[in-house]
Amino acid sequence: MTYTVQIKVMPLKELLDPQGKAIEGGLQNLGLNNVEDVRVGKNISLQINADTPDQAKQIAEEASKKLLANPVMEYFEVSVN
């Protein structure tokens, strides 16, 4: 069966996120002052052929560890729909 999997890769909370800071500044210039702590990461959607949702999740976690996320700077979250 084919499962749709979403992988969210975000910068670690301890690190600065210059892209997020830039967006925060941009939003304030547009008059949206009630927005803070903006952080920008990646969202990767995949179709995974697997027997069970758990197996699909395992494949997605392997893909994240091997290719998609840099553990020095990023963490990832996998969700299977």
* Chain positions contacting its own copies, by CB under 8 A: 8-10, 20, 23, 26-27, 30, 32, 34-50, 59, 62-63, 66-68
Residue closer to its own copies by CB (options 32, 72) is: 32
Query: What is the widest separation between alpha-carbon atoms in the chain?
Result: 49
Residue closer to its own copies by CB (options 51, 72) is: 51
Name, in order, each residue with C-beta under 8 angstroms of 71's C-beta and a sequence gap of 6 or more: 65
Which residue, 12, 65, 64, is CA-closest to 39?
12
Scored b (16 or more CB within 10 A) or e, 44-56 reads bebebebeeeeeb
Q: From the CB of 53, what's the least distance to its own copies, in Å?
A: 14
Residue closer to its own copies by CB (options 45, 72) is: 45
Q: From the CB of 54, what's the least distance to its own copies, in Å?
A: 14
